[in-house]
A and B are shown apart, each in its own frame.
Chain A
Amino acid sequence: MNDIFIYAGIFLGVSMLMPTYRSLFGPTVLDRLVGVNAIGSKTIVMLILIGLIYKRADMFVDIALAYAMLNFITVLAASRYFQKQKGLYDEKPEK
């Protein structure tokens, strides 16, 4: 069972590279925000996987809960901040 958790963690870490591409090269600011949100929700699963591998799941669950709250507050605050500012986007409206 421990091997399955380790392989799942490796697979999750590799699939975390794809939202990293979006958050580095995204055409608008909000695209980067979507990528960061996806990475954060994968990190919650990753934290509980680490806790199960080290057999300390009772401690890592609290860290994962705090990380979920932090991720939500980050995305909400950033999107509320960027909706006031027009012209920050490097994507030109088409036509």
Chain B
Amino acid sequence: MSILITIMLICGLIFFTGGSVGIIRFPDFYSRLHPAGKLDTGGLVITMSAFALYTLQPFTLTAVITSIKIILIVVFVFITSPTAIHAIVDAGVRAGLVPWEKKEDNLI
């Protein structure tokens, strides 16, 4: 069980690192939103399920309630994170930001 929790924790940290590198490296505002959404849902779900498994270890009523609360945080983030990202995209579109296009001179 301990090995499973460690593997899930490392997978979630890989998601977090990839999302952070993507937020720095992508060229445009609209394309930066893609790793931001992945970082929220993907990384948080895997690490939170690892924590829910770990708190379930001594199987008592308090541990079960704590584990259910952690799963409820995951459900809440699953609903709210795409909503927040969509609101940011909507603000960018209405403010008239121009999407990035591939040209010869702005290749990094």
Contacts and interface: CB of A to CB of B under 8 A. Distances in A.
Interface string A1-45: 100100010011001101101100001101101110110011011
Interface of B: 2, 5-6, 9, 12-13, 16-17, 19-21, 23-24, 29, 32-33, 36, 39-40, 43-44, 47-48, 51, 54-55, 62, 65-66, 69-70, 72-73, 76-77, 80-81, 83-85, 87-88, 90-92, 94-98, 101
Given A72-B83, A72-B84, A57 B66 contact: yes
A61 B66 contact: yes
Given A8-B9, A38-B39, A83 B23 contact: no
B72 A18 contact: no
A33 to B, nearest CB: 6
Contacts of B62: 58
A65 to B, nearest CB: 5
7 contacts: A1-B5, A34-B32, A34-B36, A38-B23, A52-B51, A68-B73, A93-B97
Nearest to B81: A41
Interface band, chain A: 35 or more
Contacts of B32: 22, 31, 34
Interface of A: 1, 4, 8, 11-12, 15-16, 18-19, 21-22, 27-28, 30-31, 33-35, 37-38, 41-42, 44-45, 48-49, 52, 57-58, 61-62, 64-65, 68-69, 72, 75-76, 79-80, 82-83, 85-86, 88-89, 91, 93-95
A65 B47 contact: no
Contacts of B6: 4
Given A18-B23, A30-B88, A82-B91, A93 B73 contact: no
Contact of A15 (B17, B29, B44, B54): B17
Nearest to A60: B66
Contact of B40 (A21, A27, A37): A37
